[in-house]
Chain A
């Protein structure tokens, strides 16, 4: 019985997140268009795009190998699996000890599958896009993991039931630590996370692997039809999930407790409120960032991560850790 409920809930979450993430695509395009003094496409444009792509023939290059067709399917499957461990305003369905590590692996796997698909296509544009994707993948994960694990370590120090899990964030949050040092550290880490998020969804400075005007969509250059539709959906879900991580760490508060709801209505209200927060985070990290910046060169982006973000993450981590370590008595 329990398994049945879990499965149904999981399917419900999948349907909801697909809808919400595609809807965000429309909202984002509309908002950016307004910032650029344009009208922008209709709000439901991503849905139209998705449906149109699903109905279209998929062209497979002559030189492509099996992974070309397999990669989009695996990417979508990975992003669905990811939903089981994503905090969405309530504890993840299959949450357990140490699921943070699984979460990060699955998130990276989507990027890795894009690379596999691009390399399999045999197109030189896609190969250069894949090179760039790998380089930036390696650079962005370091600062993020350092920040994430510091926060989790610090929180599990307060005594949580499942250490190093996504559920940790619903028992305590970084702002609860209370000391001025930890608050400054948390703000620094928030900036690191926003930059990581922008890089994860490839906007603004970090639109490097897909650089439309340089590489003609880079990693996605050879994809069309159904395969492209699967990748688009996987990417949209990935954006939502990555933003959910930031929301869970820094803005984990629900509202169901305040209006005294319990059971299913509480879950629905929390989910909707969480979606709102995700949209707010994505607005800062995606829409605003996309409207006010251009694309960097790959070496500039990499040096941004290694010489700015990594030191920032280290400083933030030290500030968080400083009162536990007892450096300042």
Chain B
């Protein structure tokens, strides 16, 4: 106690908390209702994906990349493909790029609608959650019609896309956009731009000034909400996006002021919903006929990749911000030597933790939700903190042993021997 009493209250937000969808810990030190310190603890959600990836070939990693996160499943997949394409020098057909744009923007619509609802929920305004998630169903239905799944549509592959857009899909997409323009977006705008409750709660909450946003390298709507004109699609002149006239959206165009608070981030998201719909329409207009895959057969592709050497970097503007995938090839193997990704949540998380100091405890959930954290994307290192404070790294074998022990404890009738086999990936000499 250092001989003096501390009147501060420490609140753990997480690892399990109703405001967080995923396990992550924010230790918040409070003086009354005012926050004086925020401590971010990462690492509750490690799944060892990079480790698993080094035992799988390039095409199998596509499906792994998709499962990094359920919301930006296409973005991860797409970025990984771009990295491998850059590494192997594969030219993607133009029609495939357009289809990628369409799917990517559809995904952005569904991600932003989801986040708008989540932010509404964290301020206790559940009606917004239910309305925006109801609207989101329509995009997900379209994605299901195109890719076969609501969440992991696995439409992307290295050097193109796996499914072509048919006439009925295009008609469904245009119908959906029509419906959104006329019915959904007016409601969303009314709620998130003009509702007094929303304005009272979101204005001046979780302010990230422009300087902090640049210093902490905030990404995506978090950076654009603070007035930083940063959008990979625009800055890097990514794929066919320049032809479609993409521009970074800042709240200035909608409300005339840039404060960098939660409200501004929501305004950016509403603006991007409009922009995404426009982009999809233009992409459908300009989409040429032609091939959708650079290499038609997967085994030919694998053979080509086996010969590849060097490294590649893929960048893409996921709904949450810039996504970077790095792939390093080993010559003569169809397994990458290294696969590494950087998610937008990682820099955003520390920017928001910095911004929360000095604000009220009521702003914590809404500020965290406003960066749309994807914590399962972010976690990398498994350090298990025991009760004694000792640190220990659990390997896959330990986890498997623990889970088998747990199963036996719960159900003694299970007779199988606890053997560490059959986890679904070919085993090297590591274990």
User: Could you list which residues of chain A lie within 8 angstroms of chain B, going by C-beta atoms?
Assistant: 35-38, 124-125, 127-128, 131-132, 204-205, 207-208, 211-216, 291-300
Contacts and interface: CB of A to CB of B under 8 A. Distances in A.
A88 B126 CA distance: 33
A128 B9 contact: yes
A243 B124 CA distance: 23
B364 interface: yes
Given A36-B130, A300-B200, A295 B125 contact: yes
A294 B361 contact: no
13 contacts: A36-B126, A37-B130, A204-B124, A208-B362, A212-B124, A213-B121, A293-B197, A294-B120, A294-B201, A295-B125, A296-B197, A297-B360, A299-B360
Interface string B108-135: 0000000000001111111110110010
B127 A292 contact: yes
Given A37-B134, A128-B11, A214 B121 contact: no
Tier of interface size on chain B: 20 to 34
Contact of B200 (A204, A215, A296): A296
Nearest to B123: A294
B211 interface: no
B130 A214 contact: no
Interface string B52-79: 0000000000000000000000000000
Contacts of B127: 35-36, 291-292
Contacts, number: 77
Given A128-B33, A296-B201, A216 B9 contact: no
B231 interface: no
A305 to B, nearest CB: 15
Nearest to B362: A297
A214 B9 contact: no
A213 B125 contact: no
Contacts of B361: 128, 214-215
B18 A212 contact: yes
A211 B126 CA distance: 12
Contacts of B201: 294-297
Contacts of A211: 124, 362
A214 B134 contact: no
B88 to A, nearest CB: 46
A224 to B, nearest CB: 15
Contacts of A124: 9-11
Contact of A293 (B18, B32, B125, B362): B125
A298 B123 contact: no
A307 to B, nearest CB: 14
Contact of A216 (B17, B125, B362): B17
